Chain A
Amino acid sequence: GENVEQHPSTLSVQEGDSAVIKCTYSDSASNYFPWYKQELGKGPQLIIDIRSNVGEKKDQRIAVTLNKTAKHFSLHITETQPEDSAVYFCAALRQGGSEKLVFGKGTKLTVNP
């Protein structure tokens, strides 16, 4: 089955710096890769996603890149703000079946003012 690895497990940056979180996946049939932000006491919230037919996607300060050959995808947050502090999860999904998500272990991002 699919396995998703995520690094780093913790990341501390200064406000205004960039943050990069990386994930790898094992199942070449996975074709949808979302990123979720989880704040304390809440469920995961989708912040950006990418499909396997696209290499890069950007939404304001957040971008995601996908390298299908290497089976890895990354989240880039620029101009970080204290409110970006949260746990971020990458996930992979193979469409056409049960549509289950396979998650990485999460990255706790701390943005220091």
Chain B
Amino acid sequence: EPEVTQTPSHQVTQMGQEVILRCVPISNHLYFYWYRQILGQKVEFLVSFYNNEISEKSEIFDDQFSVERPDGSNFTLKIRSTKLEDSAMYFCASILTGGPAGSRGYTFGSGTRLTVV
């Protein structure tokens, strides 16, 4: 079964450092997402990406965050200057298409645990 792959599985970084979280979505999917889950809290939407541009972003996704699809396979989340409160599990997800047919195909990666010290 096709998978969404995320690397690394765990990243520890110092406050103020830049981090890049990497994702390889399912190859024929067209919509890409980043979600995050602070320990013990709900999974929160960060950003959606379609047709090589951001289609929606949440209030959390401020100027410190950016996303990129540098080639046909990778989808990255960059945090420019990490803060302690950025410590969370970050999930990448993708779907083939919008609408009823696409929603069922929401596939999540296993996540990257980011720890900012």
Contact = CB atoms under 8 A, between A and B. Distances in A.
A105 B56 contact: no
Contacts, number: 67
A49 B100 CA distance: 11
Given A98-B48, A103-B43, A106-B42, A44 B108 contact: yes
A29 interface: no
B55 interface: yes
Interface residues of B, number: 27
Contacts of B4: 43
Contacts of A103: 35, 42-44
A104 B42 CA distance: 6
A10 B41 CA distance: 13
Interface in B1-39: 4, 31, 33, 35
A10 to B, nearest CB: 11
Contacts of B104: 34, 46, 49
A11 interface: no
Contacts of B91: 43-44
B42 A43 contact: no
A99 B111 contact: no
Given A41-B111, A106-B42, 19 more contacts: A32-B100, A36-B108, A41-B110, A43-B108, A43-B111, A44-B43, A44-B108, A45-B108, A46-B104, A46-B106, A49-B104, A51-B100, A91-B43, A95-B103, A96-B99, A101-B35, A101-B43, A103-B44, A104-B42
Interface of A: 32, 34, 36, 41-46, 49, 51, 89, 91, 93, 95-106
17 contacts: A34-B103, A41-B111, A43-B108, A43-B109, A49-B104, A89-B43, A91-B43, A93-B103, A95-B98, A96-B98, A98-B50, A99-B98, A99-B102, A100-B33, A100-B48, A103-B35, A106-B42
